[in-house]
Structure 1
Amino acid sequence: MGRFLFMLFLLPFVCFAAELKVRQPHWRPQVVDNFPNGNPQHVVFYERGGDEVDLPVKEISFYINGRLKEEADLAVLSGEIVRHGASVTVHPQGTIFEMMTFEEGVLGGEVKTFHPNGQLKGKVYYQNGLREGPFESFYASGEKEEVGTYDKDRVSGEWTTYHENGLRASSTYYERGIPKGIAEEWYADEGKTKARRLYADGLLHGDGKTPAVMLYSEDQSVVEVQDFRLGKPYGVHLKYYPNGRKSYRVNFARGAKEGKEEFFHEDGNCCGEGIYSNGVAVGDHLLRYPDGSLQKVAKYDQQGKLLEPIVEYYESGDPKASYFQIGDAYHGDYREWYPGSMVKSSCRYEMNGFEGKVEKFYSSGEKQFSGNFQENQREGLFEEWYEDGKFKSSKWYVHGKADGLHREWNSDGVLLFEANYKNGDLDGTLKSWHNNGELRQLSIFAAGRREGKEKKYFDNGECEIQATFKTDLLDGEFMSWYQDGSLHTELTYEDGVPVGEHREFYAPEGEEEAGLFRIFFYDKGQLEGEQRSYHRNGKLAASVSYKTGTLHGKKVQWNDVGELLEEAEFDNGNLKGRYFQITQEGEEVVTHYKNNLRDGIHQVFHPKSEQGKVKKLDALFVGDKLEGELSEYNNKGVKVVSTLYKEGLREGISTLYTDEGMLTMTMEFKGDKREGKAVSYYPTGKIYREVGFAGDVRQGETRTYHEDGTLASLYSYDGDKLNGLCKEWNEEGVLVFEGEYTGDLKHGKFNKYFDNGSPRLLSYYEKDSLKGDKKTFEAKK
């Protein structure tokens, strides 16, 4: 566990989606769940809140090999941890599988899924946890696969699927989540019809003229005709050969087969028939081959009970199968034969469950399988053979559970597996071998738990793993090797927890000698002291200090040429002093911490360039809250943003500049809300626009000016909504527009004028509805 927790701190603070919160160095990780091998399965990150309480901000889950599986942002709502913000799931090979966003635990916005090759697989929108609006899915090639619409989580309107060649595959119309009207399917070749179905209230339902189901072959001949009434089979159902002749006919009444069921050969002659009464087979049911010989025969009394076994025959006349059925369930003796009357299988069923001895044979007559069942549970010796008579497996069972010696062999007669079971659990020595006969594993189990020494080997005979277990927990030395015999890991455990020094080595590459990858130190399962990792070239990659499993002391990372990437100091898990980091984008970040809270100068520098070290951001934190001026600079070092803060909230004038340092906008803030005037400027420095704000929304007049200082427009807002008379003028001062609004709705005159002041459009509205006619005019020449 500690090894992966240590490596977690070495992961770059990046994310797959821009919406995910970037992991911060002062967040405290807590391992919630581990895999049986000790690797973390689920980790939650906490951030110190304003009331000195650690609050969950992110959760990360891993695959058993340590790869990232899922990352999601968190919040606390009414005392419960919920997802809030972005969530990303990853395929085992590392590409994104799914991206979604939550709002206080409820799914909302766009959800995207991806194929392992990175191609978009599907996208759908959520509103308050329900699918809403358009849906699209795509093949791994990028071609469209399906499109449709959701209405309150129910499919709605037309849903269309496509073949990968771009032609339509199906079309179904839905209302309130159930199909309605005609649903069609097409073949991939030239869009030929494959099927047509009629629905009423979500049920198959013919209209009296057109059957409910029509199936077609690729040459467009009818394959099958079925009719339904409110989902129940109705009337005559037919199937056809490609030559257009019937292959099958049956009639339905009250949803059940009624009367004669008929089968036909391709030449039109009847080859089988039987009678049904209210869905129950009665009398003789026969099926014949084209030469008239029996293919299948079943004889029933008038209540539908079989009078003798159903028998199926090969065309030669040899029996193929013999069995009893009750409804669709096998019941009683079951026999199968190969052509020539050689037995294929023999067993007995009790309502589809095995009872008694089951045997299977190869066509040569050699036995393939033998076993006994009691109430469909395995009981006693079960054996399998290869066709040459060699053993494949031998296993003992009691009441359906493995109990006794189990053995498995390959087709060359090499023993692959040997172990003893007791009451379903491994018990005693387990041995397994590679196909070449080399030992693969040697373990000892007691009541399903590993106990004592365990060894695993590569197929070249080299040892892969050597470990000791006590009641299924690692206890003692654990060592592993690469296939060439070079050392991979040296670890020590006590009662399943890591202790002492743990070493891991790189895999050898070519002639290069494998070097130390990382070295950890544990005390009763907790990381203790300095933990180090190395680059393949032997240079130190990271040094992180722990005290009883908590970060305490220096944490430093370097690249493979010895350049500093990160430097921090912790005091019992809390960041303190100067924090330094080079991001993946090459930006340098310097932040100061006090008791895990940002406190002091915070600076960011652009990636190194020919201009040298250029500042990107300069700010000051007091008690984790921004205080004073926050300045942002472009990559030439020119200030482009100035924002004033007080106790973490924007307060006072914020200013924006062009990349050349010219004033472009000023805005007033009070308590982090826009309050007062926001002013935009032309590049010449003259005022372009003035917008009034109150309580973070537009309020009062918004004025726009021509570059000569004359008024260009005048709009009035009340609570961020247009209200009153609004006007626009051209550069000559001629009125070109006037409109009256109430609550953002056109209400009153709404007129436009040509540049000479003559009318262009005259109209009148009441609450956004046109009253009377619009009058339009041509420009005067």
Structure 2
Amino acid sequence: MRVAVVLALVLGVGCSKSTTPKEDSGSGTQRVVPALSGLIFDDKSGLCFVVGESIPFTGKATWHYANGQTMQETEFVDGKEYGQERWWYEDGARAGQCSYQDGLLDGPCLHWHPDGDTKELQVVYRGGRRDGVELVWFANGKEKSSARFEQGKQEGESKGWFEDGTTAWVSNWKDGKEDGPNTEFYRNGNKKSERQFKAGQMTGIEKHWFENGAKGWESTWNENRREGVLVEWFDNGQKMAETTYRQGQRQGPSNGWYMDGNKAYEEVYQADELVRGTYWDRNGSVQPPDAVPAGLLRRWVSGEIEQYYMGATVEIILTAFGEPDTGGNGAWIYEKVLVGDLSQQLMLVFKKGKVISIKVGK
């Protein structure tokens, strides 16, 4: 939302920072003051003043682009936003408008796409909080999302669409937290995922599908932590892996298969750390111990490596992936890690012996 940007302009850029307002040199109503050079924001009082004055500013503050075109106009009364605020794109097309009362957003707020005619967002504020239905549109005029708010908290069903009007997602909210089913869809109408929430926490069965409708993976959640067996499939329906979880950590057996159904690995985890594993090549031959680390044999689902290994120690990474292909300056690179159907580069950045950044793909 541009409202956040506009507020930043008013409080962080438009008004210079000052601890105490200077002495009064006279002020009046209906004044127009260039915000960047003419106003300061007083941290102690939380009010805006004209530079050199001690009476809170009443009038209109303006911002301009380098070409002289007006960027934004905001009305103030007694040092606080009060009344209309409007802003424009650099070519002069209208970008948005909203209303303030006593420094808080209050009333309708509208945003437009760069053509100045197509609405981008519409929402109503009361006392600084969203209240009512918030609508967002694509540049083609099609509705992008719809959500309902009551006194600043999201309530009921929210819905999103693709540019062609087909449903992209549906979620449910209660008292500002997700509560109930959350469903995502592919553009072809097939389901992409199903999740369940209770008071903002994921619970129950989570399901994902490939775009062709085949199962992708399925797991169970309890109070935002995985619990039980995570099952993953290839897009041909063949099972890819089964991993046991307890209180959000891998615990116990984990088994994997190749796409042809042959066994790829058997692992055992303790408190999310691999303690032993047996691995087979695609021909069914058992690999010598530690010949190929588990992380290089496993076919990872997108996002799994980031989820499992952020914050991991050097020792855990060595156990999972072995020695890096290249390393230096606190970064390790593995050139061939299987993510989905692609062999990807994996880069891990360490600080004080723990992973602080993970990047999959070049």
User: Which bin holds the TM-score, normalised by the shorter protein?
Assistant: 0.5 to 0.7
1:637-686 superposed Cα distances (whole Å, 9 cap, x missing partner):
321211245776767x732212111222469xxxxxxxxxxxxxxxxxxx
Greater relative contact order, per chain length (Cα 8 Å cut-off, separation 6+): 2
Contact 1:597 1:623 in 2 (8 A): yes
Over 3 Å counting, the alpha-carbon distance change for 1:656 and 1:459 in structure 2 is closer
1:614 aligns with 2:238: yes
Q: What corresponds to 1:55 in structure 2?
A: none
Q: Does the aligned pair in 2 maintain the 1:528–1:549 contact within 8 Å?
A: yes
Note if 1:524 corresponds to 2:155: no
2:96 to 465, 479, 482: 465
Q: 1:50 aligns to what?
A: none
CA distance in 1, matches of 2:280, 2:156: 49
Q: Which residue of 2 aligns with 1:486?
A: 118
Q: Spell out, residue by residue over 1:15-57, the C-alpha distance to the aligned partner (whole angstroms, 9 max, x if none).
A: xxxxxxxxxxxxxxxxxxx87749xxxxxxxxxxxxxxxxxxx
Residue 556 of structure 1 and its aligned partner are, at CA, apart by: 1.5
Q: Deviations over 1:566-596 (max 9, x none)?
A: 2210111222222123699x99232112333
Contact 1:406 1:418 in 2 (8 A): no
Note the C-alpha offset of 1:464: 2.9
Distance 1:526 1:590 in 2: 31
CA contact (8 A) 2:238 2:260 kept: yes
Matched, 1:636 2:260: yes
- List per-residue Cα deviations over 1:600-630 (Å, max 9, x = no partner): 2211223x3xxx2232211233444545531
Whole-Å separation in 2 of the counterparts to 1:473 and 1:572: 28
Is residue 221 of structure 2 the alignment partner of residue 589 of structure 1? no
Match of 1:544 in 2: 171
Greater strand fraction, Structure 1 or Structure 2: 1
Counterparts of 2:232 and 2:101, CA distance in 1: 52
Amino acid at match of 1:543: V
CA distance, structure 2, for counterparts of residue 454 and residue 537 of structure 1: 33
Aligned Cα RMSD in Å?
Answer: 4.2
2:219 counterpart SS class: strand
Q: Which amino acid aligns with 1:616?
A: M
Equivalent position amino acid for 2:286 in 1: L
Identity %: 18
Task: Give, in whole Å, the separation in 2 of the partners of 1:439 and 1:615.
Answer: 60
Would the aligned equivalents of 1:421 and 1:427 in 2 still touch at CA under 8 Å?
Answer: no
Matches within 5 A, 1:63-142: none
Q: 2:125 & 2:282 partners in 1: Cα distance?
A: 60
Cα 1:401–1:618, aligned 2, differ >3 Å: closer, same or farther? Answer: farther
Query: 2: CA distance between counterparts of 1:492 and 1:432?
Result: 25
Aligned to 2:277: 654
SS at match of 1:637: coil
- Partner secondary structure for residue 179 of structure 2: strand
Task: Please give the alpha-carbon distance, in whole angstroms, between the structure 2 residues aligned to 1:495 and 1:627.
Answer: 49
CA distance in 2, matches of 1:665, 1:637: 21
Question: Which residue pairs with 2:226 in the alignment?
Answer: 598
Q: Map 1:200-599 onto structure 2 (within 5 A).
A: 421=50, 423=53, 426-430=57-61, 441-457=72-88, 463-482=94-113, 483-508=115-140, 514-581=141-208, 588-599=216-227
Report if aligned partners of 1:583, 1:589 keep a CA contact under 8 Å in 2. no
Uncovered stretches (5+) of structure 2, i.e. residues with no partner = 9-20, 40-48, 291-314, 316-362
Alpha-carbon separation, structure 2, partners of 1:503 and 1:488: 8
Which of the pair has more CA radius of gyration? 1
- Once the two structures are superposed, what CA deviation does each residue of 1:118-142 show, in whole Å capped at 9, x if it has no partner? xxxxxxxxxxxxxxxxxxxxxxxxx
- The answer to whether the Cα contact below 8 Å between 1:418 and 1:431 also exists between their aligned partners in 2 is no
Distance (whole Å) between structure 1 residues aligned to residue 229 and residue 108 of structure 2: 48
The alpha carbon displacement at 1:457 in A equals 4.6
TM-aligned CA deviation for residue 537 of structure 1 = 0.9
AA matched with 1:662: S
Measured in 2, the distance between the counterparts of 1:433 and 1:624 equals: 52
Q: Tell me, yes or no, if the aligned pair for 1:406 and 1:421 is still in contact at 8 Å.
A: no
Note closer, same or farther for the CA distance 1:407–1:626 as it changes in structure 2 (3 Å cut): closer
Give the Cα separation in 2 of the matches to 1:547 and 1:438: 44
- Measured after TM superposition, the shift of residue 438 of structure 1 is 8.4
The CA distance in 2 between the partners of 1:474 and 1:398, in whole Å, is: 28
| TM-score, length of structure 1 as denominator length | 0.29
Q: Check conservation: 2:83, 2:99, Cα contact below 8 A.
A: yes
> What do the CA deviations read for 1:433-462 (whole angstroms, capped 9, x no partner)?
899998765532123321012233557775
3-state DSSP class of the match of 2:205? strand
What is aligned with 1:196? Answer: none
Q: 2:359 aligns to what?
A: none
Is the CA contact (8 Å cut-off) linking 1:418 and 1:432 kept in structure 2? no
Q: Partners of 2:197 and 2:97 in 1: how far apart?
A: 37
Residues 201-249 of structure 1, C-alpha deviation per residue, up to 9 Å, x if partnerless? xxxxxxxxxxxxxxxxxxxxxxxxxxxxxxxxxxxxxxxxxxxxxxxxx
Check 1:655–1:437 CA distance in 2 against 1; reply closer, same or farther (3 A cut): closer
CA distance in 1, matches of 2:66, 2:198: 55
Supply the AA of the counterpart residue of 1:602: L
- The separation in 1 between residues aligned to 2:254 and 2:284, in whole angstroms, is 16
Task: Give the conservation status (yes or no) of the 8 Å contact 2:112–2:120.
Answer: yes
Q: In the TM superposition, what is the alpha-carbon distance from 1:476 to its structure 2 partner?
A: 1.2
In structure 2, distance between residues paired with 1:487 and 1:591: 40
Question: How far is 1:530 from its partner?
Answer: 1.6
- 1-side partners of 2:201 and 2:70: how far apart? 50
Residue type of the alignment partner of 1:638: N
Q: Is the 8 A contact 1:503 1:519 kept in 2?
A: yes
Which structure is higher in helix share? 2
Distance 2:72 2:289 in 1: 73
- In structure 2, what is the Cα distance between the partners aligned to 1:574 and 1:624? 13
**Which whole-Å CA distance do the structure 1 matches of 2:230 and 2:60 have between them?**
62
- Residues 218 and 232 of structure 2 are in contact (CA less than 8 Å); yes or no, is this contact kept in structure 1? yes
Which residue number in structure 2 is paired with residue 664 of structure 1? 287
1:430 CA displacement: 4.1
Distance 1:474 1:663, change over 3 A: same
Paired AA for residue 216 in structure 2: E
Letter in 1 for 2:254: L
Residue aligned with 1:663, SS: coil
Question: Structure 1: 5+ residue runs without aligned partners?
Answer: 5-33, 39-396, 409-416, 509-513, 668-695, 697-781
Change beyond 3 A, Cα 1:630–1:465: same
Q: Deviations over 1:94-114 (max 9, x none)?
A: xxxxxxxxxxxxxxxxxxxxx
